[in-house]
């Protein structure tokens, strides 16, 4: 019954001034990735400076069903302690329905933005004591939001509408007020057909990858992975056809932590082809297809901050699968071992800074599973870090303060 309700929720979703992105400043954030420190650039902006990496963090979790199995707009605010314990202090709030996907945070962790099941955008702020204030429960952007990336400045969000281009599909810039966090008037930055995500690179804040078809300016309509210059509007630098055919139904995307490869997932049940994850090199100015791997029903991709392993949520496979990553190899990716048996896993997030670097939190049927990237291509299933009971405990969208 629970699985059926989750499936019905997943399949019921329909899917002229150039904006500026913040310049990279001289300050830097040190991301503690275990044995070594990885210095990442920090943008100029009102929410750009990361908070202390060794602290309690807020984890937000969509609770998209009520106790009878009907749709709900409830969210939980959990506390992830600096020691890695995930606690439910009873904090709940209401926005739009948080069924799927990742909730984006500003770099300083004070502002969260969610693409919600009805296409609206939810915005909330987080105080120093971890308390949340909803700024906009259901901001109507005038298009259908399916994914959000908060700009490194914290002063705008880049929101993907997953429709066809003629129905508004593309990447939109949404200003975020520096004092209140309130969203401003959206503007279309780039038309894209059936886009699933936009990801700003961690080491080159003026570049991003968008995954979808027919990106504005792309010469190849079948190309799914596009590299963007964000300082130019954004402007398309180049595109690549990731899968080598036009059969993919895109479900998820990610970029390896070292910014070398973009990953795109195909979970089509109708193509007659195996479900797949494709890798495309985005290290230069021209994206190049590299590999295609078979993984059943890949609904989320979670790269390790140690650049040695990638987790893949296999939704109907009821498993957390893995892809090994060996940077520098001619074929850097390979299907790895199953990491965990998991009930309908979906979206996942990972801590990349501080003592908890490498801790991944993954939504599954009635809670949050923890998986720890160990380095050296290994990962440990920590089992359920948070678990509820009943239909109103079915877990949806998830986010964690950086």
**Looking at the predicted structure, is the pLDDT value of residue 115 above 50?**
yes
Query: What CA–CA distance (Å, rounded) separates 208 from 188?
Result: 16
Q: What is the mean pLDDT of the chain?
A: 91
Q: In what order do the strands lie in the sheet with 86-94?
A: 86-94, 71-80, 57-65, 398-400
Q: Is the peptide bond before 234 cis (omega within 30 degrees of 0)?
A: yes
pTM, to two decimals = 0.90
pLDDT at 376: 95
φ and ψ of 359, to 5 deg: -85, 120
Query: What CA–CA distance (Å, rounded) separates 314 from 365?
Result: 13
- In tens, the pLDDT along 153-198 reads 999 999 999 999 999 999 999 999 999 999 999 999 999 999 999 9
* Residue 27 structure tokens: 């300050």
Query: What CA–CA distance (Å, rounded) separates 209 from 202?
Result: 11
Mean pLDDT of 321-328: 97
Mean pLDDT of 17-31: 37
pLDDT category of residue 11 using cuts at 50, 70 and 90? very low
∠ at Cα 192 (191, 197), nearest 5°? 125
% residues pLDDT > 90 (the chain): 89
Q: To which CATH superfamily is domain 2-12+35-400 assigned?
A: YVTN repeat-like/Quinoprotein amine dehydrogenase (2.130.10.10)
pLDDT at 104: 98
Mean pLDDT of 41-56: 97
For 347-363, the DSSP string reads -EEE--SSTTTTEEEEE
∠ at Cα 129 (123, 135), nearest 5°? 15
* Residue 45 structure tokens: 């902006």
Contact present, 171 and 158 (Cβ < 8 Å): yes
- In tens, the pLDDT along 298-312 reads 999 999 999 999 999
């Amino acid at each position: 019954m629970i699985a059926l309700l989750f499936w019905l929720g997943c399949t019921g979703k329909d899917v002229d001034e150039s904006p500026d992105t913040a310049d990279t400043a001289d300050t830097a954030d040190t991301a503690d990735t275990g044995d070594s420190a990885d210095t990442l650039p920090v943008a100029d902006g009102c929410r750009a400076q990361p908070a202390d990496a060794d602290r309690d963090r807020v984890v937000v979790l969509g609770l998209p069903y009520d106790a009878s199995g009907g749709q709900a707009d409830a969210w939980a605010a959990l506390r992830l302690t600096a020691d890695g314990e995930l606690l439910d202090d009873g904090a709940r709030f209401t926005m739009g329905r948080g069924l799927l996907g990742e909730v984006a945070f500003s770099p300083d962790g004070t502002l969260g933005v969610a693409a919600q099941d009805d296409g609206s955008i939810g915005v909330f702020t987080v105080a120093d004591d971890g308390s949340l204030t909803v700024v906009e429960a259901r901001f109507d952007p005038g298009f259908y939001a399916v994914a959000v990336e908060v700009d490194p400045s914290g002063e705008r969000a880049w929101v993907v509408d997953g429709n066809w281009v003629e129905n508004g599909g593309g990447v939109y810039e949404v200003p975020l007020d520096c004092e209140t966090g309130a969203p401003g008037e959206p503007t279309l930055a780039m038309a894209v057909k059936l886009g699933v995500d936009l990801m700003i690179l961690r080491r080159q804040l003026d570049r991003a990858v968008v995954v979808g078809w027919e990106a504005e300016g792309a010469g190849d309509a079948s190309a799914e992975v596009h590299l963007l210059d964000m300082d130019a509007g954004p402007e398309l630098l180049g595109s690549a056809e990731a899968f080598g055919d036009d059969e993919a139904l895109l479900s998820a995307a990610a970029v390896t932590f070292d910014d070398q490869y973009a990953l795109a997932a195909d979970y089509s049940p109708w193509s007659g082809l195996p479900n797949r994850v494709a890798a495309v090199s985005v290290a230069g100015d021209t994206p190049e297809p590299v590999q295609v791997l078979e993984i059943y029903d890949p609904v989320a991709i979670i790269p390790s901050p140690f650049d040695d392993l990638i987790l893949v949520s296999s939704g109907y496979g009821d498993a957390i699968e893995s892809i090994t990553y060996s940077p520098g190899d001619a074929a850097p990716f390979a299907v790895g071992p199953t990491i965990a048996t998991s009930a309908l896993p979906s979206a996942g997030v990972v801590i990349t800074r501080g003592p908890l670097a490498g801790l991944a939190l993954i939504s599954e049927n009635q809670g949050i599973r923890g998986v720890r990237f160990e380095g050296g291509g290994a990962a440990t299933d920590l089992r359920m870090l948070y678990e509820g009971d009943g239909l109103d405990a079915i877990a949806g969208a998830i986010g964690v303060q950086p």
